[in-house]
Amino acid sequence: MEQPLYDGTDESGAAQADGQEAMLDASRKIALICADLIDAGLSEHMVAEAMMGATIHFYDAAGLAEKMPDILRLKADRIQQILLKKDERHN
């Protein structure tokens, strides 16, 4: 089974007990919205760019914009680890 890019942990990697199921449910709903947009003819690139823009706006509106670079670095590292493991399995 493929490992999801969002695994229910916060930016420090600690599990979030409160609201974790709600976060996972929201993530699933957002993924379905993205799939609907792609099915409607938008490119995956356009949908991904829109999602990134929405994330940036959300962090800004929540007053968390200054934390975003560090959070993105942590997530980028996590994505890279997942991709490396995936690559190792295929070799």
Domain boundaries, the chain: 20-90
pLDDT digits (tens, 9 = 90+) for 33-63: 999 999 999 999 999 999 999 989 999 999 9
Dihedral angle over CA of 49, 32, 8, 43, nearest 10: -20
Has this prediction a pTM greater than 0.75? no
Residue whose tokens read 């890279």: 80
Strand residue runs (E) in 1-91: none
